Structure 1
Amino acid sequence: MRSLLSVTLLLLLLLALMLSTEASRRPKTHKGGKPRPESECSSAETQYGKCVPEKGDCGDGLRDATCREVTDKIPCRIPCNWKKDISDCKYKFGPWGSCDSATKTKTRSGTLKRALFNAECLATVKVSKPCSPKVKGTGGGRKSN
């Protein structure tokens, strides 16, 4: 009786394992989309369009991937803290400059590290942001006796 119970549990465990491996072999799908097609083209042959977010300016979206006159939509993502015009280009940025009192902004420049999806990128870019209204403290605020 005990061995029959053990064999039954073992079979159920094997069945669950087979179902989970089968589920992992299924093609990945984008929310509400078709499975991503297996392409015969290399990434060098494929022309990629801009990532277009589903809602707003950032988040999950779709981009066109064209190869041999066949265009597919593939999933992509634009980080919400990233600039739209340089989203497919990765830059290494230096430190923020001092606050410009006339424009109340500070800037920094970045040099191109790599271009994603065959994007056309500028060699250097400048980004700016508003100056922080808060003055940073000296850290800690401990009183000395």
Structure 2
Amino acid sequence: MRSLFSVTLLLLLALTLAVEANKRAKHHKGAKSDKSRPASECTAAETQYGKCVPDHGDCGDGLREATCKDRTDKIHCRIPCNWKKDISDCKYKFGAWSSCDAGTNTKSRSGTLKRALFNADCQSTVKVSKPCSHKPKKTRGHKKKNGL
């Protein structure tokens, strides 16, 4: 009876260790997801990437084509919402926003290219603009004045 209990306990311990090892392997931070990488054996320099096309609307999860030699794969991608579609594969370092132009009610800023993703053709500098805010920003340390 003791030997049966010992074997059962040993098997339970082995099963627990196997499950924990599997969990650690799945959630390892250094591991890359298979869905973002094409299944071919081509390097990133040899692969030509298409534009990311969102599944619904202008942003969110989508697919892009990755072509190398005679093989074309669809890989998962994501376009951040509230971002410019024409520069989505390019990363820029932007300066501060300009003051509000009263004539057009917009403010703008320019950015210089930091890096191009997926071998994208990127402009070396870009200029983006947005409507001016109607509310003035509160600065830290200022409290709302109550009529008391």
Name the TM-score, length of structure 1 as normaliser: 0.80
Query: 1:9 & 1:78 partners in 2: Cα distance?
Result: 50
Say yes or no: does 1:105 pair with 2:106: yes
Residues 61-70 or 9-18, more deviating: 9-18
Query: 2:13 & 2:87 partners in 1: Cα distance?
Result: 50
* Alpha-carbon distance change, 124 to 4 in structure 1, aligned in 2, over 3 angstroms: same
Query: 1:38 & 1:13 partners in 2: Cα distance?
Result: 37
User: What is the identity, as a one-letter code, of the residue corresponding to 2:126?
Assistant: V
User: What is the identity, as a one-letter code, of the residue corresponding to 1:139?
Assistant: R
Judge conservation of contact 2:38–2:66 (CA < 8 Å) in 1: no
User: Which residue does 1:134 correspond to in 2?
Assistant: 135
Report SS of the residue matched to 2:74.
strand
Cα RMSD of the aligned pairs, angstroms, is: 2.8
Q: How many residues align?
A: 137
Query: 1:2 & 1:36 partners in 2: Cα distance?
Result: 52
User: Which residue does 2:115 correspond to in 1?
Assistant: 114
User: What is the identity, as a one-letter code, of the residue corresponding to 2:11?
Assistant: L
User: Which residue does 2:11 correspond to in 1?
Assistant: 11
Q: Structure 1 residue runs of 4+, over 6 Å off?
A: none
Report SS of the residue matched to 1:113.
strand
% of aligned pairs identical? 72
Query: 1:128 & 1:2 partners in 2: Cα distance?
Result: 77
Name the TM-score, length of structure 2 as normaliser: 0.78
